[in-house]
Chain A
C-alpha cells in the first residue's frame, strides 16, 4: 500500500477539530438500525429478543436434523423440513381427533399433549428412517448429486401428501395453551405457550447432545461420521448407525412440529420449505456437522429475524439473514463452530 496525501489530511482535520468528531459519533450510534432504537426502549427490545429466542429454539431443533445427517453422510436431507411439516400435521390431526379446543380441561390437554408428543416423534422418526432406507441407501454409492436429487424428490412427495391431507390453505390448530401473561421479568411477560416451547425444545437439545457425546450408540455415530469404512472394520454396524441417525433427526423434527403447531397455532403443507431453509441456514451458520453449532446457529438466526422484523423491515429478513450467512462464511468458511468437519472436507 502506498501513501498519498488524502487520508492523512482527513485524519489531521478530524484530530484538529474534535467538535467535528463528536457530532457524527452520536449520530452513528443512533443510526445503527437496531442498536439505537433498542437502547431507546429496553423492555421493547427485550420483547423482541424473547420472540427471537423462542423461534430460534424451534429452528435449532430442525437444524440439528440437518447437521446430524450431514455429519454422517455428507448429505443435505432436503426432506427434513417436510418431515417437520408432517409433525405439525400429525399434531393438528391428533388435536382435532380428540376434539380439543380452547378451554378444554387442563388434565385432558396435558395427557393428550404428552401422548401426542411421543406419538408424533415416533412416527416422524420412523418416516425419516424409512426415507433413508428407501430413497438414500440404494444410492449410497452413486454420485452425491443423485442422492441430493432423491432428497429433493422426497421433499416434494411429502409436500404433496401434506397438501392432500391438510388442503391448500393453512389450517388452524386451537389455542390449547394460554397466551395470557403468567409472570414478568424486567418488563417482559411470559405466557404458558412460550414456556411450553422452552420446556420441549431445551430438554430435547440437551438430551440429544448427551446421547451423541456420552452413550455407546452416540460413540458409534461419531465414529461412523469420522470414517465410515474404518468404523465398519472396527465392528460398528454402520447401516444401523445411519438408520439411528435418521431416527433421531426425524424425532427432533417431529418434536419441533408439535411445538410449532401449538405455539404458532397452524399447520401448513408449505411449512417444510421456509422452516427447512432457515434450519439449513442455521446449520451452515453454526458449522454443519456440529451439534452445538446448529443449536447456536438456530438461536442466532431467530434473534436476527426478530430484531430485523421489529426494527428494520420484514421485507428485508431474508436479505439480512443470508448476508450474515455470507459474511460469516467468507471469514469462517466452516461456520461459527464447525472446525472438525471443515478440516476433513
Chain B
C-alpha cells in the first residue's frame, strides 16, 4: 500500500514536472496528456452496440498514433449502466459527469448513448465548460424546441453557459417523420401508436403522430406500453378492436419490447405491420421477440452497415482489420465519427494556440459549433450552433429470417 502511494506521488510529481517544463511554443513535441472520456452503457443489452462504439473510438485514436498535435490522448471508457438495471441509470451517469468535472486534464466527453442520460450530464459539463459529443442521442429536446418539452433545450444549458453539446446522429424530428412517411409508403392508412413512456420513445412517437397528420396518415390512437408491465395482452386486444393496419412503437428493447411484439402478433395476426425506431435496431430485440420480430420494419438514422460505400467502407475494413471476427452495429460508425470530428476540433484548437486544458476545452467547443462541410466517413456534414448535424441519412430495415435486412433508403431527396 505504502509503496503504491509513494509510486503515485513520484509519478504525479514527474508528471507535474513534465507538464511545467513544456515550454510554450513547441508544436511537435510532447505537450502533455489530455483525457477524453466516453460514458456509455457497458452492461445490459446495449453492450453489443457500445462495444463496437468504444472499439471505433479506439480505432480513431490509434490511427492518429494516440496523439493530437503533440498532446498524448488518454482515453477512458466509462460505464453509465449497472448490471442490476441492465441499462443506464441516472446515478451512474450523474456520477460520471461529476467525476469528469473533477478531472483537470479532461478535454472532452463522448456520450451518452441514451438521451435520458444526456439530460443529466449536459448541464454539469456545460457549467464546467467541457465539450460533449454524442454518437447516439436522438431526442430533439436536447438541442431544439421542435419536438421538445417546455423549457427545453435552454434548461440543459443553465446560467448562460456556452452551448457545449453536439451530436453526429440526426435527431428524432427527422426519424419520427421518416417513420411516418415509410409507413405510408408501405401502404398503411390507419396507424396505432404506442410509446414506452420514456423521453426517447414518447418523443419519437409524438413526432410520428405530428408528421402522420401532415401527410394525412390516420392515427387511430396513441397509447402507452410501460416497460415494467409483464404483459401487454389486454392492450393488444384493445388495439385489435381498433383495427389498425400498422402499429408503431416508440421505445427501446429494454422496456420489454419483446413481450409487446409477441402479444401484438398474437392478437393482430401476421398481416398488421409493426414498426419501430432505432431503439429496437439491435440483435437483443430479435432475441427477445423471437419469431414475433419477423417482418418488423425499423427506421435508422444512418447508412446500412452491410452496404457501406466510399469512406464508410474503408472505416469498416479498418475496423475489421483491427478487431478480426467482429461485426459492426448501426451506431459503430457514429462512434468513429464522433471521435473523428472531436479530435479534429481539438487539433484545430491546439494549432490556434490553446496551451492548457481550459483553453483547449473552450476552443474545441467553438470549433465544433463552426464545423462546416466536414468530410467524415458517413459523408460530408456540418454541425450548427444548437449542436445538430445536417446529415439526413435514413435507412429502412425489415426483419427477415431473424436478421435485419436492408429494405429501403429513406433519405429525403434534397
Contacts and interface: CB of A to CB of B under 8 A. Distances in A.
A51 interface: yes
Contacts of A275: 230
Nearest to A311: B238
A168 B42 CA distance: 11
B86 interface: yes
A79 interface: no
Contacts of A309: 229, 232, 234-235, 238
Contact of A175 (B43, B253, B291): B291
A47 interface: yes
A274 B266 CA distance: 22
Interface stretch (A242-250, A262-270, A332-340): A262-270
A5 to B, nearest CB: 46
A264 B233 CA distance: 9
A254 interface: no
B290 interface: yes
B286 to A, nearest CB: 8
A305 interface: yes
B84 interface: yes
A20 interface: no
Interface stretch (B208-216, B219-227, B352-360): B219-227
Contact of B262 (A266, A308, A318): A266
Contacts of B288: 169-172, 266
B223 A314 contact: yes
A264 B231 contact: yes
Given A169-B86, A170-B258, A310 B287 contact: no
Interface in A86-130: 102
Contacts of A169: 44-45, 86, 253-254, 258, 284, 287-288
Of residues A52, A268, A278, which shows the largest number of chain B Cβ atoms within 10 Å of its Cβ? A268
A31 interface: no
Given A314-B223, A315-B197, A44 B287 contact: no
B237 interface: yes
A256 interface: no
Contacts of A41: 241
* Chain B interface size, under 10 / 10 to 19 / 20 to 34 / 35 or more: 35 or more
Contact of A163 (B47, B86, B197, B225): B86
A174 B43 CA distance: 26
A55 interface: yes
Contacts of B287: 167, 169, 171-172
A171 B231 CA distance: 14
Of residues B224, B231, B232, which shows the largest number of chain A Cβ atoms within 10 Å of its Cβ? B231
A309 B225 CA distance: 9
A163 B83 contact: yes
A160 interface: yes
Contacts of B229: 274, 309, 314, 317
Nearest to B238: A310
* Chain A interface size, under 10 / 10 to 19 / 20 to 34 / 35 or more: 35 or more
A51 B237 contact: yes
Nearest to A54: B233
Contacts of A264: 230-231, 259, 262
Contacts of B258: 169-170, 172, 266
A55 B47 contact: no
A169 B227 CA distance: 13
A246 to B, nearest CB: 24
B289 interface: yes
Nearest to B235: A309
Interface string B241-268: 1000000000001101011001000100
Contact of B234 (A160, A171, A278, A310): A310
A271 interface: yes
B228 interface: yes
Interface in A40-89: 41, 44, 47-48, 51-52, 55
Contacts of B266: 179
Nearest to B237: A47
Contacts of A151: none
A173 interface: yes
Nearest to B241: A44
A146 B43 CA distance: 32
Interface string A274-294: 110010000000000000000
A229 B29 CA distance: 83
26 contacts: A41-B241, A55-B233, A163-B86, A167-B45, A168-B43, A168-B45, A168-B86, A169-B45, A169-B258, A170-B258, A172-B262, A172-B287, A174-B290, A174-B291, A175-B291, A264-B259, A264-B262, A270-B86, A308-B234, A309-B238, A313-B224, A314-B223, A314-B229, A314-B235, A315-B197, A315-B226
Interface of A: 41, 44, 47-48, 51-52, 55, 102, 159-160, 163, 167-175, 179, 264-266, 268-271, 274-275, 278, 305-310, 313-315, 317-318
Given A169-B254, A174-B290, A314-B229, 9 more contacts: A159-B84, A170-B288, A172-B291, A264-B230, A265-B292, A274-B228, A309-B229, A309-B235, A314-B232
Interface of B: 43-45, 47, 83-84, 86, 197, 223-226, 228-235, 237-238, 241, 253-254, 256, 258-259, 262, 266, 284, 287-292
Q: Which 9 A-B pairs have the closest CB atoms?
A: A172-B290, A309-B234, A169-B45, A168-B86, A306-B234, A168-B44, A169-B284, A310-B234, A170-B288
